[in-house]
Amino acid sequence: MKSLGLSSFPVVLAPLAGVSDHPFRRLCAREGAELTYVEMLSATALLYQSKRTLEMARRHEDEKILGVQITGKSADEVARAIEILDRMPFDTIDINMGCPVNKVVRSGCGSGFLRDVPRIRETVRLARQATAKPLSVKIRIGWDKASINALEVADAIQSEGADWLTVHGRLRSDDYGDPVDLPTIKAVKDFCRIPVFGNGNIFSKADAMHMRECTGVDGVMISRGALGNPWIFREFVRGLPGDPSGSGPATFPESSESPVSIGEWQQTILDHLRWQSEEYGHRGNGAVCMRKHLLWYAKGWPGAKKLREQINAMEDLESVPAAIADFVTGARAAGVTQRQNQTAHENDQASSLAARFSASGRFGATATSWDPKWDMDRRLDRGVGDEDL
């Protein structure tokens, strides 16, 4: 991680299928994400030089630190794909061994790895031989309740040369509404010699602090918490005050959270729209992709029903700025100037966090069980672009 210039407790944006294109990555990086990733790519599609996959892998010139994530059917396939990625302008490469989507798992990719530890060992070993770039792996804690094998998997990954590991604290069989297993993340962190990042249900600075305190993780990866909320990254203040080396433990002052004003909300959407239009045009897939972002941006604002209806009906992006301006004018007239907490946590963070834990220490879902990626992932079987694995 030090070779990438990351802080002592990095906060990074996850590679989100169908989301992490460069307009969204640039917004998150602008707000403070130290590292962002291209969305998960299929090794099969990359080896066949799929046009769609190569488009997904493009790096914008403004991106300072960028990683890429790959998944594949076999160790050899992943390694050959990484040889290609090694020649491309990425700073770090991650292997996905945790994606739960049926389309991905059926071919042995994503969470399919978790049922074959020897294949995990071979994959990481060959991947390590294929690149000198920082190499990481993202996993879940097991396939189902009868096969929680996170420690065995972690041992295989670190023994074969990965530089760090990200643990999503759920099983493959879990849904997003199921709690995150912090004790198992802690067990992996205590076991590993390499850095361990935590992932799952991080919707605020308080969530990240609690995960760090309970598990000792070396950093966190934010996924759904960034959807419609790139400002989440600005909540984090990195480094120990007075420690110019940045080698001390990271601190997160209680005062670092700041609400999103309606003016900056509007400007962020306009910036996102501009970058989206420059990359994809005003119509077609670019507009369809932007629609979900706009619906996520509308979350947390009172009186947004009409705006959501307009977004759902739009066929191009040209009419969006006027719709956003009308909404802002109405909100200001009604005295609404700041966004409500997106995840519906209580104002009392301590009581909110307590309500999200069971006696087992598992990290519960948000108060509203807000699940913005359900349609894209499990229900619609969304993963690794539109390519067949």
**Does some domain include residue 342?**
no
377 secondary structure, DSSP code? I
Tokens matching residue 366 = 């948000």
68 backbone dihedrals φ, ψ, rounded to 5°: -135, 145
Question: Does 248 share its domain with 329?
Answer: no
Cα–Cα distance, 155 to 121 (Å, whole number): 9
Digit-coded pLDDT (tens) for 134-154: 999 999 999 999 999 999 999
Asked whether residue 249 falls in the same domain as residue 299, the answer is no
Length of the chain (residues): 389
What are phi and psi for residue 211, nearest 5 degrees?
-60, -45
pTM: 0.86
The band of 314, judged by pLDDT with boundaries at 50, 70 and 90, is confident
Closest residue by Cα to residue 35 from 73, 90, 84: 90
Q: Is residue 367 part of a domain?
A: no
Is residue 340 domain-resident? no
Q: Which domain holds residue 198?
A: 2-257+374-379
Q: pLDDT averaged over the chain?
A: 85
User: CB under 8 Å to 372, separation ≥6 — which residues?
Assistant: 224, 227, 228, 292, 296, 299
**Is residue 339 domain-resident?**
no
Do 247 and 282 lie in one domain? The reply is no
CATH number at residue 268: 1.10.1200.80
- Structure confidence by residue, pLDDT tens digits, 61-97: 999 999 999 999 999 999 999 999 999 999 999 999 9
Residue 203 and residue 293 in one domain:
no
Query: Helix (H) and strand (E) counts for the chain?
Result: 14, 10
- The residue-averaged pLDDT of 45-58 equals 94
Residue 268 has pLDDT above 70, yes or no: yes
Residues 287 and 312: beta-carbon distance below 8 Å: no
Looking at the domain assignment, is residue 174 inside a domain? yes
Higher pLDDT, 49 or 284: 49
Q: How many separate domains does the chain show?
A: 2
Q: Are residues 214 and 247 in the same domain?
A: yes
pLDDT of 202 higher than 60: yes
Q: Which of 23-27, 107-111, 214-218, 235-239 has the lowest mean pLDDT?
A: 235-239
Is residue 293, in this structure, part of any structural domain at all?
yes
pLDDT for residue 17 = 87
Read off the pLDDT band of 236 (50, 70, 90).
confident
Active site residue 109: no
**By mean pLDDT, which of 2-11, 55-64, 152-161, 340-349 is the weakest?**
340-349
Write the single-letter amino acid at 174.
D
Looking at the fold, whether 124 and 230 belong to one and the same domain comes out as yes
Asked whether residue 217 falls in the same domain as residue 127, the answer is: yes
Q: Supply the pLDDT for residue 87.
A: 97
Q: Is 250 exposed, middle or buried (0-12, 13-18, 19+ CB in 10 A)?
A: buried
Q: What is the pLDDT of residues 329-361, one digit of tens each?
A: 999 999 998 887 654 333 334 434 544 433 345
- The one catalytic residue in 99, 109, 192, 289 is 99
Average pLDDT (282-301) is: 89
Give the per-residue pLDDT at 1.
73
pLDDT of residue 361: 55
Evaluate whether 66 touches 117 at the Cβ level (below 8 Å).
no
Mark whether 113 and 205 lie in a shared domain: yes
Residue 334 is classified by DSSP as: T
Q: What is the pLDDT of residue 289?
A: 87
Question: Is the model's pLDDT at 362 over the cut of 60?
Answer: no
Mean pLDDT of 242-263: 56
Q: Are residues 132 and 274 in the same domain?
A: no
